[in-house]
Chain A
Amino acid sequence: MISISHVCKRYLGGYEALHDVSLQVEPGEMVFVTGHSGAGKSTLLKLVAAIERPTSGSIVINGQNLAALGAGAIPYLRRNFGLIFQDHKLLFDRSVFENVALPLEIGGFARREIRRRVRAALDKVGLLGREKALPITLSGGEQQRLCIARAIVNRPAILLADEPTGNLDAAYAEEIVGMFKAFNQVGVTVVIATHDVSLIGRLGARSVHLDHGRIAVR
């Protein structure tokens, strides 16, 4: 599903965020990418979502080599992903409903279908009652759940989450990880970048450790 081979990413100024990283993720798999902040977890996810381009190496998603994709094809590639960003990237001038509806509007869905799917997504994350609220009035945990609703409303094949439990207390974090587990159980491929190793233990999911831009062998 996701095949990363020998990927390097060097930024302007020479900082090397990733060095010769290779990683295979099978369809339906759940993978944690761990490491300290600055280890290159976010960069790895950005490369997979074609938000940034690798300096060298290749990334193949669903049999499509990202390097060969033209600028016009990238939007359609991104619609296969549900992205959960570290900084949420919610639109604060739009209601909860409108935030979740955005991917569907982009996808050109009919209004009725949009309403149905947004409700279903909000129901899954437990925000159904807050449709008309503005994101600013939500708690941190609720904002995170709103992000997840926006990521899954499109029924993506792959979920990419960057620090989804970032600044949540343990109980909230548990709940969020539980959600990801549920999505994974219905066949969604899930990649989660996190520094919080305590999350992983009970799930029995594979984890890959990044250390200063390299895959660390344990």
Chain B
Amino acid sequence: MNWLLAHFDTLRESVARLVSQPLATLLNVAVFAIALSLPAGLYVGLDSLSRFSRQISSEPQVSVFMALGAGQDEVAAVGQRLRHHPDVGRVEFVPRQQALERLKRSAGLSDVLAELKDNPLPDAFVVTAQEPRAEVLERLRADVAGWPKVEHVQLDSDWARKLDAVLRVGELAVGVLGILLGVALVAVTFNTIRLQILTRRDEIEVSKLIGATNPFIRRPFLYHGMMQGLAGGLAAWLLLLIGVAVVNTGLADLATLYGTSLRIDGLSIRDGGLLLLLSAGLGWLGAWLSVSRHLWQIEPR
């Protein structure tokens, strides 16, 4: 009970100490907030993008374009073969005339298209594969590409899969950035606590002389580092909330243009909790290293 009360007292003192030096505390908290919100912001951005790209890449669509010179019966034969292919689920035939009309309607290119004497578009099939797995799609594509009068087979999700791969590299980069900034935060705390120790040297010396254990001496500094880290984590979370809200207003305009819904989700409660735990932990670690170094230095030999 005494033990718990003593910890509570130390916690209160460390908060009081942080509040009593508002400028220094504010600057340190700002450093934490910026250094944490940067990788965390990139993380949520990448996470939302990759969820979006994964959702697209899981649509198992393949477009089969016929050669321009293909005759009606040749097109019909390919259609027939497609319908009987074991990997194929559904087949939609898009005649070249219909494709042209769709293009005229959708893209506002009617003036340009009207200039054309011939229809430049081929007949096409939009094929939905049985399964959304990449190797099934790839097999289907290779297979169909070899058929007579088939000009080109395209996986509609190809770009999305490539994007996904790029995003994975991005996530790795964010991880590395996060680690580097984490080390920087430990260093910042180390230095802050070092200054604290310098102002409280006599207290440490006297306490040791009259029987204080090392954990007793470390305790207030550990709380100081931890509370500062925690405040920084909270500030980072707040900064992230604001940042995500701002980016989402921009994305909403972009998304209406493309007719999709694209938005970044903020940190989940779980991830936010992890962020706080991490920032408090980094502060604690920096403080621990700093005090331990000092205690080691004043150890009599």
Binding site for B on A (CB under 8 A): 49, 51-53, 71-72, 75-79, 81, 83, 85, 89-92, 102-103, 105-111, 150, 154
Contacts and interface: CB of A to CB of B under 8 A. Distances in A.
B5 interface: yes
B213 A103 contact: no
B213 A51 contact: no
Main secondary structure of the interface of A (DSSP, over half): loop
B201 to A, nearest CB: 11
Most interface-central of B3, B5, B207, B209 (chain A CB within 10 A): B209
18 contacts: A49-B209, A53-B300, A75-B214, A75-B216, A76-B211, A76-B213, A78-B210, A83-B210, A90-B206, A91-B203, A102-B206, A103-B210, A106-B207, A106-B213, A108-B6, A110-B1, A110-B2, A111-B5
Nearest to A105: B6
Interface string B232-246: 000000000000000
Nearest to B203: A91
A106 B210 contact: yes
Given A108-B2, A108-B6, A78 B211 contact: yes
A154 B1 CA distance: 20
A150 B207 CA distance: 12
Contacts of B1: 110
Given A91-B203, A108-B6, A71 B299 contact: yes
A181 B68 CA distance: 117
Contacts of A53: 300-301
Contact of A79 (B2, B211, B299): B211
B271 interface: no
Most interface-central of A49, A85, A102, A109 (chain B CB within 10 A): A102
Contacts of B300: 51-53
A106 B209 contact: no
B163 to A, nearest CB: 57
Contacts of A111: 5
Interface in B233-274: none
B135 interface: no
B27 interface: no
Interface of B: 1-3, 5-6, 202-203, 205-214, 216, 299-301
A53 B301 CA distance: 7
Contacts of B208: 75
B205 A89 contact: yes
Contacts of A51: 209, 300
A75 B206 contact: no
A78 B210 CA distance: 6
B211 A106 contact: yes
Nearest to A49: B209
A109 B1 CA distance: 10
Contact of A75 (B2, B3, B5, B212): B212
B210 A109 contact: no
A75 B213 contact: yes
Given A89-B205, A110-B1, 15 more contacts: A53-B301, A71-B299, A72-B213, A72-B214, A75-B214, A76-B213, A78-B210, A79-B210, A81-B211, A89-B202, A91-B203, A102-B207, A106-B210, A106-B212, A106-B216
Name the 8 nearest CB pairs between A and B, nearest first. A78-B211, A79-B211, A75-B213, A106-B212, A75-B211, A103-B210, A89-B206, A110-B2
Contacts of A110: 1-2, 5
A141 B45 CA distance: 69
A109 B299 CA distance: 26
A171 B203 CA distance: 31
A83 B209 contact: yes
Contacts of A89: 202, 205-206, 209
A111 B9 CA distance: 11
Most interface-central of B5, B6, B206, B213 (chain A CB within 10 A): B206
A174 to B, nearest CB: 27
Contacts of B6: 105, 108
